Amino acid sequence: MPAATPDDLFALFDRLDIRAVTHHHEPAFTVEEGHRVWGAIPGVHCKNLFLKDGKGQLWLVVAPAERRVDLKSLPARIGSARLSFGSAPLLTEVLGIEPGSVTPFAVINDTDHRVNVVLDSWMMDQDLINYHPLRNHMTTTVTPAELIRFFGHTGHAPLTVEL
């Protein structure tokens, strides 16, 4: 099955009554590039780490853009083996996206539920949160409750931890 497009994602949002607001901008591959394009987009801007542990489990760690994520101490908090970054081919295979466009919304393509999602607890206590809608030339704003509704639809049960 081909990977979902942003339009597929937006149609799902409509069906789930997720009132996302999407802003178009220049592509942003990194947090640093994001700072140049986020401008006045309200809410917490986030980064997403696609990781693989020593036992082959896949992890998507979602945190505020400025949060330092310590990959050495994280396994003890999430119950994983030693973590390292997943490869670009694996990212495309499992989540159907390219590097630079990593987003929690990509689990729409993880129909085999191979990815364990980890959410920063502080981020989930905020009013609005922002992610790429499968492509890095847009930013989509949702509420934490809407993000959880999306995960419920995809069958992913995120783990919320203090990162």
Q: Is residue 92 part of a domain?
A: yes
Average pLDDT over residues 55-67: 97
Q: What is the pLDDT of residues 12-53, one digit of tens each?
A: 999 999 999 999 998 888 888 888 888 889 999 999 999 999
Q: Is residue 1 part of a domain?
A: no
Average pLDDT over residues 79-100: 96
Structural domain total, the chain? 1
Give the chain as a 3 state SS string: CCCCCHHHHHHHHHHCCCCCEEEECCCCCCHHHHHHHHCCCCCEEEEEEEEEECCCCEEEEEEECCCCCCCCCHHHHHCCCCEEECCHHHHHHHHCCCCCCCCHHHHHHCCCCCEEEEEEHHHHCCCCEEECCCCCCEEEEECHHHHHHHHHHHCCCCEEECC
Q: What is the pLDDT of residues 135-152, one digit of tens each?
A: 999 999 999 999 999 999
Rounded percentage of the chain residues whose pLDDT exceeds 70: 100
Average pLDDT over residues 4-13: 97
Find the domain containing 78 and state its range.
6-161
CATH of the domain at 10: 3.90.960.10
